[in-house]
A and B are shown apart, each in its own frame.
Chain A
Amino acid sequence: MKRAANPHRWPALLLALFLAPAAVAGELRSPEHPDPAAFDPAMRAAVAEARGQLQDAAGWARLGSLYLLVHANAAAADALHNAATLEPREFRWPYLEGIALHRAGQAAAARHAWQSALTRDPNYAPLRLRLARSALEAGHTDAAQDFLADARATATGQELAGEIALARGQVKEAVTAFTRALELAPQANWLHVRLAVAYGKAGDKQKAREHLKARGTRRPEISDPVLEAVSAARPRDVASFLEEAHAALSRNHRYSALLAFQAAVRMDPRSVPALLGIAGLSLGAGRKAEALGYLQRALEIEPGSAEAHFYAGLIQESNGAAARAESHYVRALPRESARYRLARLLLRLGRAAEALPHLEVLTAEKSATAVRFYWLGLAHLAMGNCAGAAAALDAAHARDANSGEVIAARVRVHSSCAPLDGPARARLLAQAQRLYQARPDAGDAETLAMALAAAGEFDKALRYQQQALAATAPEAPQRPFLAANLARYARGETAIAPYEKDSLRLRPPADQYSSPPAP
């Protein structure tokens, strides 16, 4: 249907037509080049090279594209303007110039650049869509409709057609267009909102509600090869590959991260961070030998790399090579995690006196976690220092009142070598009971028996100790300890010690915090 022109628009339009050619005329501009110090080295080099080759349109376009990538929009617009002037048939340069201008907040100038691009290539759909949206935002639905033309074959085009229809009050047409857009891009669940709005305006509340329920925030996307080519031409260096790898890791995209680390190594075979990255990923995938190979390469380049030593220590420890692991951990010692692993390794090796100073360092910080105090408590226990163990386990409990292992160790210590009185002892017994309710195994039955004996409830203590004994294998090393305590409870005596000598028999507290035991 032919639409009537609005007669009131003519005076302004004629004036604009008169002014327009002066603004359109193109002369080469001198961009205000941004300070390259803000760029990464690869970009700095690429910009310097591009600035030396500004004799033709391709040179200006290359520089403009680089400036677009670093968001130096004013300079990008000037450079791309020059490219467009020198190559009057090429639509890409005014198109990109328009994008730079739009990003710089110059909506009208952007539209003008895009219009120039449109005269050079009327068929590039992303260009038409940008113009259509721009016209719609300015309230010119007729112009928006004209720009849309064949570009409506895409989901974004249909969405825009729907918006134009909505702006004109044509709700049926809007529903049709949004529905079609959703068919073309079912993943674009934001379109449900637009459909709900259209149905709401049409008075169909039921449909509106249905689409509101299905709504999301994902908008339809459109492929823009010109802009994608600009992004793909970003100059790369090792740092950018590392950045890409870490970004991929933060999204848990391990394969992408591996590819980026490998690309960095290809570019610089002596990149220690990249080698470590590959080693870490290999280790995570269980390929220990391969990981160790990359770590050795890293250590050849940087013998003091704490990170490389730490990873190597982890691998050697898991291989059962305790001495090598210890050696690596020691060389990684500025690293806190290495100190933690070293302390645990020494404890496991029965060298509590050597572990103790490391654990004291680890628990000296205000933010020290429960698990560190827990291991400190065990180190004290292994050295026969019950008071030290009690203090450390109390600190662990204060930081995490829900760790079963901390509760168990603390109950055992305070029920044997560091007894408590009165309400504190009653609370301890209540904790042991809750722990047993949550985890009714042999170890926690034994813990409960200790707490009961400490509270003077020897009959119950005997019952739980017998239960623990019955659930313990005949060859288990702790059986004599269990039997000895059973005899003590029968005599009305408390447990002889928290654990049997030289065998801590403990599980580490969960690194993840567990749910509180049932009250």
Chain B
Amino acid sequence: MPARLRTRLWLACLLVAGPAMAAERLPFPADVLNPPWVEGRQLEQTLDADSLAVAHDLQFRDQQPQSGINFRHQVVEDAGRAYKAVHYDHGNAVVAADVDGDGLPDLYFATQLGGNALYRNLGNGRFEDITARAGVAVADRVSVAAAFADTDNDGDPDLFVTTVNQGNLLFRNDGDGKFTNISGPAGLDHRGHASGAIFLDYDRDGLLDLFVTHVGVYTTDKIGPGGYRIGLSDGFSGQLHPDRFETSRLYHNLGGNRFADVTRSAGIEDNSWSGDAHAADLNGDGWPDIYLLNMQGHDQYFENQAGKGFKRRSRELFPVTPWGSMGIRIADFDNDGDPDIFVTDMHTDMVEELPPAREKERMPHNYPQAFLATDGRHMLGNAFFRNAGNGTFRDISAENGAETFWPWGLSSGDLNADGFEDVFITGSMNYPFRYGVNSLLLNDAGKRFVDAEYLLGVEPRRDGKTATPWFELDCSGPDRTHELCKNRAGAVEVWGALGSRSSVILDLDGDGDLDIVTNEFGSVPQVLVSDLAQRRPRLNYLAVRLEGKKSNRDGLGARVQLETDRGRYVRFADGKSGYLGFSSMPLYFGLAADEKAVRLEITWPSGVRQSLDAPIDTRKTHRIVEAGG
């Protein structure tokens, strides 16, 4: 066929299916729809994959459309058409727990507008929305974080949700996946600019206590669309305004789902601009300590004084911390038996926008001293504090590849089942910034982290998407004064970058490998399902679900050590599952080539030591009940 005729025919063919005239699509920034750097980044990561020592024989695939999860996170206007640099852009949690006792992890997504959502796991990676019957939508408030834990030791996970100055919520699980709001009677309905929440048994009395971090005042009294409190226009300089400080709060569990605020008497009053925290026994004395993040200043470390209270030892142990700490995960990353600390630093990455090719570099300079409002001793990026084993920590982030750009928080899990905890870091700033990637760092035998998000199918996202419709403007109507309407007329659909906030790593389809679920900002979740179990029919792993008797029912604070012929692995039951998220899930041990486990030893928070000796079945989840209870 002659070329001329061929092209005419092709054009005519396309004309038949032409869409109707739509609003003008306005990508902002201009290259957010087709970032010119993505392919180079992908190639850089995959080019030499063959020579990598760390196992990478798996791929993730976003199966959100098939999962039945149709939740869509909705942002307030301060993060959309009325964008301002205020803390609403920190987004919301996704958390996991078996809420109905069927043995499968269910998922709870929080949002700013439109109501949170609880999805029941039907098995095989399928979910159903049970929010309405569970009664946990919280549609009348702007939620932030979520935490599942068994607060009344009755064998099912209860749910705590923080909100932006609209009162926090405790939902008691009535045992069948239905929840009752008991916030007021529980004494947990405080109104403030609450953020992350973690449960811990700080006095080891067998009842889970609650620590709630507070950012500080970043809202006005004016109410915006959807009922949210409109943010301050200078919210990002809150650390300069002592009148805006709010202390994070420690609530002591009195039993019977009643809590008392013991912040002051426990010596943990602190005005850090804090979004999250992590409990862990960092000094090995058997009592959980608290590492409190400060997103606009120095982090704080509170050492547990044998359950009687806390002592601030921040600058002694951590003289230099990130200035903009956002997320934290404490785990034994190098398999030496003690906990190491990985802290992500988002706010330092707001000093300037690094070009994509330089994202693994540290930020070259910091804010002016007058803005930092500290003694100036900060690292400019993520921190990785390696536990030296003698009660001290050393930051090795410059050596082990822990740096990432625009990170929110992190989740860890042994994604390649090689025995070492890998890390998934949510990233990207959404509108009005360029697209940023989520990072997947494979742990190469505790020595370094290897960037693998492109290698393992986490990036590019499904269908190569980097942006989504963010908001619409009527430039010939009420929006004509909007800055994006300048010399524009008619309907405009503004597209902004995609970006994740919270994540949780879990075996959602019960096939033995670990999957990843995200909560996005202004979009639908990613349900990243791993095919490791399908690629490795003899996948060696073991999971442990703890059931405390004398200790708290969830076993939070327990240390679990697994020995094989070739190695020793330690996991800490701490519940921290991702940015703003706290979950109730089994502890997962990847066993690499070890098909047998020879010893499992649990040190319960009660002090009870308990062990199982070979034969211990692998490729299954063990339920371990505390002895002597």
Contact = CB atoms under 8 A, between A and B. Distances in A.
Interface of A: 5, 12-13, 15-17, 19-20, 23, 34-35, 37-40, 43, 67, 69-75, 77, 103-109, 111-112, 115, 131, 135, 138, 140, 142-143, 146-147, 190, 192-194, 196-197, 200, 205, 208-209, 212, 215-217, 219, 366-367, 369-370, 399-402, 513, 516
Given A34-B489, A115-B11, A513 B369 contact: yes
A349 to B, nearest CB: 29
B467 to A, nearest CB: 14
B21 A16 contact: no
A146 to B, nearest CB: 4
Given A16-B12, A212-B43, A513-B369, A70 B489 contact: yes
B6 to A, nearest CB: 6
Given A106-B19, A108-B17, A217-B355, A20 B12 contact: yes
Contacts of B485: 38
A486 B48 CA distance: 71
A208 B1 contact: no
Contacts of A15: 16
Contacts of B489: 34-35, 38-39, 67, 70-72, 75
Contacts of B447: none
Given A193-B43, A208-B43, A516-B376, A73 B490 contact: yes
B44 A212 contact: yes
Interface stretch (B64-72, B144-152, B473-481, B530-538): B473-481
Nearest to A33: B489
13 contacts: A15-B16, A19-B16, A37-B476, A75-B490, A104-B24, A108-B16, A109-B15, A111-B11, A140-B10, A143-B10, A146-B7, A193-B39, A399-B370
A35 B240 contact: no
Contacts of B8: 17, 20, 115
Nearest to B31: A217
Given A38-B488, A73-B24, A74-B21, A193 B47 contact: no
Interface of B: 1, 3-4, 6-19, 21-25, 31, 36-37, 39-40, 43-44, 47-48, 237, 240-241, 355-357, 368-370, 375-376, 475-477, 480, 485, 487-490, 492
Contact of B47 (A20, A190, A209, A215): A209
Given A34-B476, A38-B485, A72-B488, 10 more contacts: A12-B13, A16-B9, A35-B476, A71-B488, A71-B489, A105-B19, A112-B12, A146-B6, A208-B47, A369-B370
A200 B45 CA distance: 12
Nearest to B2: A146
Contacts of A140: 10
A423 to B, nearest CB: 16
Contacts of A147: 7
B12 A17 contact: yes
A67 B549 CA distance: 74
A75 B368 CA distance: 49
Nearest to A103: B24
Given A72-B489, A370-B370, A105 B40 contact: no
B490 A400 contact: no
A197 B9 contact: no
Contacts of B17: 108
B14 A138 contact: yes
Nearest to B40: A193
A209 B47 CA distance: 8
Nearest to B485: A38
Given A108-B19, A193-B36, A215-B357, A74 B490 contact: yes
Interface SS of A by simple majority: helix
A13 B11 CA distance: 9
A205 to B, nearest CB: 6
A219 B376 CA distance: 40
Contacts of A370: 370
Contacts of A105: 19, 21-25
A496 B571 CA distance: 66
Contacts of B487: 38-40, 43, 69-71
Contact of A104 (B15, B21, B368, B369): B21
Give 9 closest A-B pairs by Cβ, nearest first: A34-B489, A20-B12, A108-B18, A16-B13, A72-B489, A193-B40, A35-B476, A108-B14, A16-B12
A200 B42 CA distance: 11
A219 B36 CA distance: 8
Contact of B369 (A19, A142, A402): A402
B15 A108 contact: yes
Contacts of B3: 142, 146
A510 to B, nearest CB: 11
Contacts of B1: 5
Given A20-B12, A369-B370, A190 B241 contact: no
A74 B480 CA distance: 18
A217 B36 contact: yes
Contacts of B6: 5, 142-143, 146
Contact of A38 (B15, B23, B356, B475): B475
A106 B20 CA distance: 7
B339 to A, nearest CB: 30
A31 B1 CA distance: 39
A105 B11 CA distance: 16
A135 B6 CA distance: 12
A513 B370 contact: yes
Nearest to A114: B11
B44 A135 contact: no
